[in-house]
Amino acid sequence: MIEFTNVTKTYAGSDALQAVNMKVESGELFVLVGPSGSGKTTLLKMVNCLNTPSTGTVAIDGVDVSSVNVRKLRQEIGYVLQAGALFPNMTVGENAAVQLLAQGWPEAKRRERVRSLLKQVGLDPDIFMDRMPSELSGGEAQRVGIVRALAVSPKMVLMDEPFSALDPLSRRQLQDLVLRLHKELDTTIIFVTHDMSEALRLADRLAVIHEGVLLQVGTPTEILAEPANDFVASFFDDDAKQRHFLTQVVAAGFGRPVQGGETVLPASATIYDWAALLRDQPDAVVASGKTALAPADLIAFMATLNGGVR
């Protein structure tokens, strides 16, 4: 568990971060999202001491990071940077093994570990081990970047806008990779992005930061359904438009008062959740707040949507 307590950061008299308090649970894929300059990267770098809070503390499993040996701390945390940031003078194999080397692994073990990880991220080690970074595509380079971060089987991986320079297709593939690896490896991942759809796609939970202020922490659906303020709402506006909540169906005038016996869905439920339910129980009536909605209401609501639901 990573705990940020009253973290502030002041640059030249102005606040880059204001009294941030939040917790990242172990094993979580936690996304820090916000426009550029919001302070999300600053917050991320405080975890491995690339940046230090002006006041407040960052603690991993109850231990303040400022109280431990920095090199030792960093050797146990994976880090993925923008566009891979591979060392151009080293081969893929050498790049991926950098942290293993820092930890003092013997050569044969390093090679073995890197080869198996390359396979895991979909790169054939026979082909890629001895390539130079300049011979890789952006997507391949970032896969190697991920291998480098995962090499020491860290309890925690920090990712700083890792896919922002990639084309949409590669970005999607790498997002899938991150989701898959997260499931397979049981690692805490803190992922920084300014792209809200990426945040929504990846996050177990996400934190919205704007101008150094932590606005909201929650699951994607919680945030979409009940944005804490106008900024959060507008930030996710484009995505929210493509999502439709039961609350919207009720607001559109459908349904009847709850009588009991309906399947109660949470306030954050979308019409997709509803549709998924109907696939199994075609006659189910669901409740949202004090309103009950019948299957026919779904069809009628969808008919009102311009262009239909995508």
Q: Which one, of 125, 132, 131, lies nearest residue 111 by Cα?
A: 125
Q: Is 302 in the site for another protein (CB under 8 A)?
A: no
| Packing angle of the helix pair 138-150, 107-120 (nearest 10 deg) | 130
- CB-nearer residue toward another protein: 88 or 260: 88
Which residues does residue 10 pair with via DSSP β-bridges, in sequence order?
A: 15
Instruction: Pick one of 19, 59, 85, 302: the residue that binds another protein (CB under 8 A).
Output: 85
Single out the segment in contact with another protein by CB under 8 A; choices: 97-105, 178-186, 204-212, 271-279: 97-105
Q: Is 8 in the site for another protein (CB under 8 A)?
A: no
Bridge pairing between strands 205-210 and 29-33: parallel
Q: Is 67 in the site for another protein (CB under 8 A)?
A: no
Q: Is 191 in the site for another protein (CB under 8 A)?
A: no
Q: Is 81 in the site for another protein (CB under 8 A)?
A: yes
In the block, residue with structure tokens 């989701």: 179
- CB-nearer residue toward another protein: 94 or 140: 94
Single out the segment in contact with another protein by CB under 8 A; choices: 81-89, 115-123, 187-195, 248-256: 81-89
**For residues 93 and 123, is the Cβ–Cβ distance under 8 A?**
no
CB of 124 to another protein, least distance (A): 24
CA–CA–CA angle 310, 178, 186 (5° rounding): 125
Cα-Cα end-to-end distance for the chain: 37
The Cα-based distances of 294 to 115, 177, 268 in angstroms read: 54, 38, 18
Q: Is 89 in the site for another protein (CB under 8 A)?
A: yes
Q: Is 73 in the site for another protein (CB under 8 A)?
A: yes
Residues found near another protein in the complex (CB under 8 A): 48, 50, 70-77, 79, 81-83, 85, 87-90, 98-99, 101-103, 148
